[in-house]
Amino acid sequence: MTTSTTTQELQICRIKFPEIQLQTRDAHKLRGYFGNLFKQHSPILHNHYEDGKFRYKYPSIQYKVINKVPTLIGIKDGAALLPQLFLKIKELDISGQSYPISSKNIELRNERTGYSDQLHQYKFGTLWMALNQKNYPKYQNLKTEAEKEAMLNAILVGHILSFF
């Protein structure tokens, strides 16, 4: 049996602020802070255009708190934009608390992505917000755990496909 694999190189930039410790739930505050700070630079920072309309694409820049460390992840266009903007950052303001920044870890790499006939096992490094305002009521109305799990799996497959 032969296996087929189709991959592509994808540029990824990761910027970490190792001196700052936040809670996982603060990731949306990072997005709000940086999206507001740099709103004139690019809609990929916050997924909204200047007229307020939503940008319906996979997020090129993601804001996460991984192991309590604020982390920004840029993919493709986001990988090129992140270093240009974030090398200038001297402080971070989260909920009125100012955090001075004296060091940043910046990593820019090409990663292989794609699909394969082989099974791979993954785990979530951060919280996954599967349900939004539209699909939450549908989820709540499902009768069995099997139906709920099937819905979550379908949402996850959709997220993976939108990435590719």
Delimit the domains of the chain by residue range: 9-114, 128-164
b vs e for 143-155, b when ≥16 Cβ sit within 10 Å of the residue's Cβ?
eeeeeeeebeeeb
Which tens digits make up the pLDDT trace of 108-127?
999 888 877 888 888 888 87
What CATH class does 9-114 carry?
alpha beta
Q: What is the pLDDT of residues 44-86, one digit of tens each?
A: 666 666 666 766 677 888 889 999 999 999 998 889 888 888 7
**Global confidence as pTM:** 0.78
